[in-house]
Every structure is written in structure tokens, then in C-alpha cells.
Amino acid sequence: MIFQSPHPPVKVPSVDLYSFIVQRIRNQAYWNDPERPVYIDGDSGAKLTIRDFLHYTAEIAAGWQSIAGLVPGDVVAVLSPNDIYYGVASFSVLAAGGVVSPINPGYTQREIVYQLQASGARFIVSDGELLPIATDAAREAGISVKHVYRLQPATAPSPQSSSVAHQNLFDLCQGAPAARTAATAPIRHSGDESHHAPAYLCFSSGTTGKSKGVVTTHFNMVAIVTQVDAFLRGEDYAHTGQVLAGVLPFYHIYGLNVLVHLNLVQGCTIVVARKFDLPKFLCNIETYRIQFAYLVPPIVLNMARYSRLQDHDISSLNFIMSGAAPIPASLARDLETRHGITVRDAYGLTESSSILLMGRRDTQDPEAIGVLMPSVEARIVETGTGRPLGPNQTGELFVRGPNIMKGYLNNPEATEATFDSEGFLRTGDIGHVDRTGHFYITDRLKELIKYKGFQVAPAELEALLVCHPHVRDAAVIGVYNPQQATEVPRAYVVLTERNGRDGRTEREVTEDIVRFVASQVANHKKLRGGVEIVREIPKSTSGKIMRQVLRKRVAEVGASAQPSVVSKL
């Protein structure tokens, strides 16, 4: 049985993302005022107007071609926290025919190098503060330091720790549009070409450890913007001229689509937060009269529990869309009752170009995640047999639609394993759909841990743990932390013999393990769930870790039970 959206299908134009966005800007009356801000820096108050956005994007695109030597298909990695110029960097690359690979700015050098090499990046656009690590990673990945560009305009101060004179992205501007040649005109992808030409290479963690490059085409990106726009307007959530909170990371597929692409189509201004700070977030709501916020559950939880929330005038905020994990029903009710804020859930994947399900305005059951986006089809399939199931029957969620990725980069085996014979994507999530079309996600078939919306692959941490000189074997699972409203990674380790530990106690060794992992991974991968010493790791006869045994152990003693060492990092 195939389930469909209650919203009518959308017509997705077969064009490249840059052309689509520019055309929609021209058709959007909100942008008729050239001084209208697209982005406002929530810290400094600096603004990027729609006129400057379009000017910089087109001129830098020409510079990518004529000065930098970018050719169609070249990959440009963007390493930056949220910035008012992030969209300029991305769209200039797309307009020049390049492919954007966003990198988490919290990554270690090892992780950055892996993504640079896996994506085949030829250029890097880096935030000023990250230039030292970007430069070192470029050298290690075999990228010329001449191909590392600083994102911020030249007026911003240079980082003191960098000994390399970096080119500025804005130095690629080519002057007046009339001075451009045919050779530097924006690259267009139309018809079938837009269905196959990659626009983005975001990376998604896999259960095998190393993250995989998700090939998202221009058509996929145009589709998801069209789908979400139609849904939000159909539910009367979105209105032209709204001011939105820009706290979701732009390098994440969720933030990228709703805060870098969709806002331009809908005619909205984004108040950008370089990093999330709750008091500053609340001040920005008050100062800029923010009306709409795309968030994740930990932020919503912290906001609802903040002891000084009443000190801020947040009356302008009327809607929160929360993704990555379900919002506790009591929390949503509290915000709606006390502050008049409607809270709805959303669900999606990197492989689906972000959102697949979203809560309707008239949703009655707070446990329901939502209904399908327009033009998305779904199946619920019995695990093990592949038998299609009907309403109120629990199985794995399969999805199909114009927003679904082309496949994994240079990984045909993983791509083939992810799609069925009819083009449905296996999500790895377990759930059911009721007779009204509302979906419920109840479990995860795949082993990924989701910490505050970020994916953590247990296998990656396990491979790192066994590199520690005192760890003989290891397993990692996610345990739910109700205080943070998120899963956190917890490690179970088998230590080497005592005489090989230099006389150190078990606690000293496990504390060292926590520090060792923290020094090697991004912030969201740290062992916040702690380290527990065990005599052996439960494994099947084939040698696979039986994580369900460890999860059962947690369920029996409680996730809050203290392991040997709890990470304070």
C-alpha cells in the first residue's frame, strides 16, 4: 500500500537551483525594495540586503570561473559557522557550475581532511577564525593553499594565528555585470540535466562508520523548496515578510534548506546567530520581533525551562517547527498555553534533502510527527520480509519523491542497498501511519545516534576507542538524556590486562579514554553518556555487536544510572 500527502502534488520545474531562486526573487514583491535585508547578524546588527546578495553572488560566480579557474563539476567545501554571507558563498559556487560540500565547523582536522578527500574538493571557503585549521587540512588533503578563500569581506579583521596570506572570496568580484563575458555567465542546468547534476554533497553518517557523501541534485533541491513552501503556505504557517530565527546550522541539510534557500523564495529575513546562546536568542526575538523559528528539541526544551524567560518579550514568536526528534507533548502544550506559540514536529533525512513529514495546524494527536510533504509517497514495510503493511501496522518507513537523493558519492553498493526495486528509499526508521495519514516514528532500525540533530555513527567511535592503548574492545550506543532532550553516546569498553596499564586505576584509565576521544572528534561525537567498563562486548556468532543487549541493560537499570565515568566535556 502506498501512502500519499493530503496536500496536492506540486509541479517541480526542471531547472538549476540558482536560476530557480533568482527567478522566484524577481517574482516576490517583498524583494522589490533593494535595501530589504536578507540576513541580519544578530550579534553586530550588520545587514546583507537583497541587492548586495544578488550582486555578490553573480560577480563572485564570474570570478570563480575567470580568476579561480573553477570548471563545472568542481567541488567547493564551505567550512563556516552561520554567517550572513554563507548563502553568497553557496550560490556563487552553484552559479559558476560548481558543487557545494558544507563542512561542520566543529570538526577536527582529521574529520575535515576526510570530507575534503571523500568529496574530491578542489577549493575551500573558510570562515576567518577557521583559516588555520582549513589551511592545515588543505595541505594534508592535497589542496593548494591558494585555493583556500576567506569568507568574510576584506574589512573584517584577519585571524592572528594564520601565517598564510589568504585570498578573500570577495576579491573574485568582477565589476559591473556588463563587463562579463559569455565565458563567465552563470551555468544553467535545465531539463534532464537538472535531474542529474549535483548541487550539494552533504555528508551523512553510516552504520559502517565513515560518513558518506549524499549526492543531492539541482532538481532535488528545487523540489524540496517547492514542496516545503507549498506545505507551509497550505497550512497558513508561512507569510511573506516574516522575520525568522537563524540558529540552525547552515551546513546541516535542515538549516541549509529552510534558512539559505526557502527564505529567499518566501520573502523572509533571517536573524543569524553564529552560535546558539539562549539569552541572546531571546534578546534577538525581542529586538527584531522574530515570528518563526526552525529549531531542534534541546533548544525548545532549554527555552521552556529557562528561569528568566518572563524577562523577555517573546510575544512576536508565534510558531516553532522542531526537527531531529519528537518534542515532548507536555512541552508543546506548555509553550502554546503560556506563550501562544504553536509547536509542530518535522522529520527528514539528509538523503531526502531534509523534510519528509511535518505537523499540520489541526493535528490532534501530539504523538504524531506529521503528514507527508506534497509529492512524497511512502510505504510501511515489514522488517525481514519486505511485505507492504497497511494503516496502524508497524514496520520500516520507505519513501519516494522528487526530493530524494541521487545516491551516495562513489558508493554504488550503499546506494543499491538503500533503494528498493521501485525507487523507494529505506529510511531505517520504524513507525506506522494512521488512517488520517499521520505518521508516527517509534524506533530506529539503523544504529545511528542522534545528538541534538547531529548524526553520530557508533562504528566510528568504536574504531577510535580500540586505538586507545588500554582498550581491548568497545561498543557504543545512544542513551536518552531527558535533561537535554536528546540521545548521547555512551561507550562500553573492555580494558587490557591490569599489568599493561602502567599501574593506573580503572577510573584513571576511563577518564583518559574520555579525553582521548574528545581530542579526536567533533563536539557532538563526544562521550557525553559516559564510559562503562564491561568484561566482554555482547556479539553474535558472526562477530557483530549486539547493541540490543546493551540497550536492554540500559532499560533495566535506567539511562540515568551512572557509568564508570561520565564525560563532563
Residue of 220, 334, 234 lying closest to 5 (CA atoms): 234
Cite the residue boundaries of each domain of the chain with CATH code 3.40.50.12780: 220-444
For cell 557525553, name the residue.
Answer: 528
Q: Show the beta-strand stretches assigned E in 382-456.
A: 388-389, 395-400, 407-408, 425-433, 439-444, 449-451, 454-456
Q: Show the beta-strand stretches assigned E in 50-178.
A: 75-79, 99-103, 121-126, 148-150, 167-168
Q: What is the CATH number of domain 449-557?
A: 3.30.300.30
Contacts of 228 (CB under 8 A, 6+ apart): 257, 258, 262, 354, 355, 358, 373
The CA distance from 106 to 108, in Å, is 7
Q: What is the CATH number of domain 220-444?
A: 3.40.50.12780
Cite the residue boundaries of each domain of the chain with CATH code 3.40.50.980: 19-31+50-188
Residue 277, CA distances (Å) to 43, 247, 253, 565 in order? 11, 9, 21, 28
**pTM, entire model:** 0.83
50 φ, ψ (degrees, to nearest 5): -65, -35
Per-residue cell: 258: 529552510
The CA distance from 54 to 64, in Å, is 15
pLDDT in tens, the chain (569 residues): 999 999 999 999 999 999 999 999 999 999 999 999 999 999 999 999 999 999 999 999 999 999 999 999 999 999 999 999 999 999 999 999 999 999 999 999 999 999 999 999 999 999 999 999 999 999 999 999 999 999 987 655 555 555 566 789 999 996 545 445 555 567 888 788 999 999 999 998 654 457 899 999 999 999 999 999 999 999 999 899 999 999 999 999 999 999 999 999 999 999 999 999 999 999 999 999 999 999 988 888 888 878 899 999 999 999 999 987 777 777 888 889 889 999 999 999 999 999 999 999 988 788 899 999 999 999 999 988 899 999 999 999 999 999 999 999 999 999 999 999 999 999 999 899 999 999 998 877 778 898 988 878 887 898 899 889 889 889 999 999 988 889 999 999 999 877 666 778 888 999 999 999 999 999 999 999 999 999 999 986 546 788 889 988 888 876 555 665 554 44
Residue 97, CA distances (Å) to 191, 200, 218, 246 in order? 16, 11, 11, 27
Cite the residue boundaries of each domain of the chain with CATH code 3.30.300.30: 449-557
At 66-83, the pLDDT tens digits run 999 999 999 999 999 999
CATH topology of domain 19-31+50-188: Rossmann fold (3.40.50)
* Nearest 10 degrees: Cα torsion 280, 286, 292, 298: 30
**Distance from chain centroid for Cα 497:** 41
Residues in the chain: 569
